[in-house]
Structure 1
Amino acid sequence: MWTLDELVERVREALEAEYPGAPNGRVRDVPDRRAIRWYSTIGLVDKPLGMRGRTALYGPRHLQQLVAVKRRQAEGLTIAQIQAELTAISPARLTEIALVPSNLMVTIDEEAFGQQHTQRSRFWADRPAEAPAPPADLPLPAPPSPVRSVAASQAFTGLALGGGVLLLVPAAVSDADRDAVAEAAAPLLDLLTARGLTTADGLIDGSPS
């Protein structure tokens, strides 16, 4: 986008450029800032595209509209006649009337983007650097050994404590072990039962508690 001063300068360059059918190749009376604001007020030129702080910004369509107005004025048309022709005109027809050189239609933002794009490296075309090969006498690392979990390699014995509670121990269990565990587990079962965390069978290893 352009400021108003930048827009005026582009209008001047467009009107001074050679183009087919132009009287003497030039059109005089480049519109100044005040004239452009007036054109915008009467709808002959679009409102600014936006603001950068307090600075109004304009684009390629404003350039075409202003150049088209001056070309029609050079042909002897009045402002009223130009308004009737340019109001709701199609973009293609406006381009035909204005005949603005294509290089002037590029905004400053697009020019800056084009320069950055040209300077940017073509990363997709560059081959990545190959990693250096290890020295011939350097031993290769051994592959990692498989990791086995304790649960997969350890055998467990289950002790039914009653109420659906099962105790797992990582060793074989004797009858004496079962009796001792049943006695020690009684308070735990009472707590679990009080909290509703057991079933109603009330057995420890198949024996009444």
Structure 2
Amino acid sequence: MKNIAVIGLSSFGFYLCKSLSTLGFNLMAVEIKEDLVNQVKPYVRKAVIGDAKDKNFLMKLGITDFDTVIISVGSKIDVSILITLYMKELNIKEIVAKAINDDHAKILEKIGATRIIFPERDLASRMAYTIAAPNFLEYIPLTEGFSLIEIAPAKEWIGKKLNELMLRNKYKIQIAMIREIIPERVVIPDGNFVLKDSDILYIIGSDQNIMSLEKDVSKDN
């Protein structure tokens, strides 16, 4: 079982603990505010009140026993930098740090963060795409300029084989998988897969090509 410590119980930190708890991880949460620690207790194995700026305090907690440390200390840039530096000095394998802006991210990366996250920015980006493209059930950015979308089939696709639609050739996208509702299962489709109105498609492609696909789906629906 993977051991994960979350330092800082901002809204992001709290909901992260809540979500991770459903996946069976061994979780520890660290926060200086008692009310936030009490709030997260039902979702973690260990919830500790304390100041993560104190390196000795973190060592006494056994922070080095954790595979991953996630640093989510709100808008306190100096605090997140200091804690990230401590994690690097303590040889934590995976250091995930929340950044406020690009300059903050650069500093975190230089001092040892193995992964930088921008929760607010990423959420705003996903929200913008789902508003601009109402046919998207979900939008997940993968890397710069490429995304994964979850979309229901256009009306004209229903009852047709994928190789008839030629979506890959027309839009330069890849159908990674299809979730069938009836029967409930996930499949990696081949060209002979016949689309049903209840199917959900998971498509990978460049943002430009995905938006071209969405425009055509909107016209049809």
Give TM-score, length-normalised by structure 2. Answer: 0.23
Give TM-score, length-normalised by structure 1. Answer: 0.24
Asked which structure has the greater RCO (Cα within 8 Å, sep 6+), the reply is 1
Decide which structure has the larger Cα Rg and report it: 1
